[in-house]
Amino acid sequence: MSMLLCLFAFLSLMLSGAIFGFFYAWVCSTMWGLDAADPRVAIKAMQAMNASVRNAVFAPAFFGTPVVLLITAGLAYTRGLNMAALAFAAGGLVYLLGGMILTLAINVPMNEALAAITTPEDAAGARRIWQGYSAPWQFWNTIRACMSGLALALVGYAIYAMKASAP
């Protein structure tokens, strides 16, 4: 097995794991914590987190995962590792559609709409805004977490298939 394929398989695993972990953390802690907070604080905190996530640490996992998975699929395919290639390609497609495109089409517009809001002084007004945002945002985030988890599982299977096919 080539060193280049091994390197890209490792990158596929790391990036898929990173993006799954990112979305999963929102599912199991971040949003629950914000839901438990004063809605005025939750709105301001979410606005700050959404503004800070566009950075050089997040970008490789978010944008690079499908690219690296598809490159890895091509490398595996050229070496006759067809099952591994199929699993890497499927993982890339699953994440591309169910993680990245879903985020850009649904979660980002929701985040931008929330960013445009001036947080109300009264708790009741803030609660209405937060409740209208949080539940649908969490639903779509759970979908992208599941899709990213599936992509990670496919990468794991692809690496297993690479090893099983090795002479």
Q: Could you write out the DSSP letters of every residue in 51-81?
A: HHSSSTTTHHHHHHHHHHHHHHHHHHHHTT-
Q: For residue range 35-85, what is the model confidence (pLDDT) as tens digits?
A: 999 999 999 999 999 999 989 999 999 999 999 999 999 999 999 999 999
Residue 167 pLDDT level (bands cut at 50, 70, 90): low
Q: For residue range 9-38, what is the model confidence (pLDDT) as tens digits?
A: 999 999 999 999 999 999 999 999 999 999
Instruction: Check whether 166 has a pLDDT greater than 90.
Output: no
The reported pTM is 0.93
Percent of the chain with pLDDT over 90: 96
Residue 39's identity, in one-letter code, is: P
Is the separation of the CB atoms in 16 and 148 below 8 Å?
yes
pLDDT of residue 165: 82
